[in-house]
Amino acid sequence: MILVTGITGRVGSSASRYLLDNGFSVRGLTRDDQKARESADLGAEIVVGDVSEVTTVKNALKDISTVILVTGNGAHQFEAECLVARESVASGVEHIVKISSMEAGPDATAPIPASHYKIERFIQDTRLKYTFLRPNFFMQNLMLFAHSIKTLNQFSLPLGKAKTGIIDADDVGEITARVAMKTPANSSILGLSGEKLIDFHDVARQISQVLGREITYHEQSHEDFHAHLSKVIPSPWHVDAVSRLFVEIADGALESLSTDARNILGRKPNDVAAFMEKNKFVFA
């Protein structure tokens, strides 16, 4: 059986769906069973509880061979994911697949990628077989601008002309599931990106082509972005963490491509146009 710690998230739900469709047994850990209803209807066993709570994690790991470790970014992510890793060793788990960050590394200063790197190092110090998946910028982040695109035909980000290897989280979920289906001979770190490096003016052009009207990208200042986040996100930790992350992205932290996604999928990963066609109803 495979445990998905964040089964209601965009990667976790996609991974569990692919696993269930291919005959694998899935257990999902979530704090909200209502959000996990779709996965439960597809056949997943749902455990309700907090990934930071020892007893909950121990129970969730019973009879588990592989863990897909994906949790929401937060101030306590390091402690929670290290708890899962530590209890995975005690429970006899064979393989842990961690969703990390392409920016994760010894030089990361923003809290989110720095935390991912610390978690990776913790897992490496255990005897667990691991696969770290480091995705680029998620296309699903564009959903945050659906209202602006629908009503104003524009969206704003503080990324200037920086390029990313933007990737569909549904593809990352399928990749995660494929990797989790078989315990590998060796541990590895894989970078997941789309096929091309593009800036957000390019993204706006692809959105425009699908929607049939001109959509523009506004190069927002970091100060305006931080002020906007402060109005819509109640957590000061998240405001600071996301703001600092976007400074790194604007400086080129995601200007990196890899063929790992295509190699695992056996096809080209979705581009922005394909993502928009699939989700056109959100933006139309």
Return all residues near 147 (Cβ < 8 A) that are at least 6 apart: none
Output the CA–CA distances (angstroms, integers) from residue 174 to 11, 106, 195, in the order listed: 8, 28, 17
What does the pLDDT read at residue 10?
94
- The reported pLDDT for the residue numbered 284 is 84
The Cα–Cα gap between 55 and 152 comes to 49
Residue at 55 is within a domain: yes
Encode 122-172 in three state secondary structure.
HHHCCCCEEEEEEECCEHHHHHHHHHHHHHHCEEEECCCCCCECCECHHHH
pLDDT of residue 121: 98
Domain annotation covers residue 57: yes
What is the distance between the terminal CA atoms of the chain, rounded to a whole angstrom?
40
Which structure tokens are listed for 253?
């932290």
CB neighbour list of residue 95: distance below 8 Å, 6 or more residues apart:
65, 66, 67, 128, 129, 130, 131, 180, 183, 184
Give the pair of three-digit tokens for residue 233: 């996100």
CA angle 37, 38, 42 (to 5 degrees): 110
Rounded to two decimals, the pTM is 0.96
The pLDDT value recorded for residue 122 is: 98
CATH at 90: 3.40.50.720
118 in any annotated domain? yes
Domain presence at residue 152 = no
CA distance 121 to 115: 10
**Is 172 within the bounds of a domain?**
yes
Which residues constitute the domain of residue 110?
Answer: 2-135+168-192+257-266
- In degrees and rounded to multiples of 5, residue 68 shows phi and psi of -95, 110
Q: Is residue 282 part of a domain?
A: no
Low-confidence ranges of the chain (pLDDT < 70): none
Whether residue 10 lies inside any domain: the answer is yes
Q: What is the pLDDT of residue 127?
A: 87
DSSP string, 176-201: HHHHHTS--SS-EEEEE--SS-B-HH
Task: Say how many domains are in the chain.
Answer: 1
Residue 115: inside a domain, yes or no? yes
Residue type, 71: T
The token duo for 184 is: 């590998």
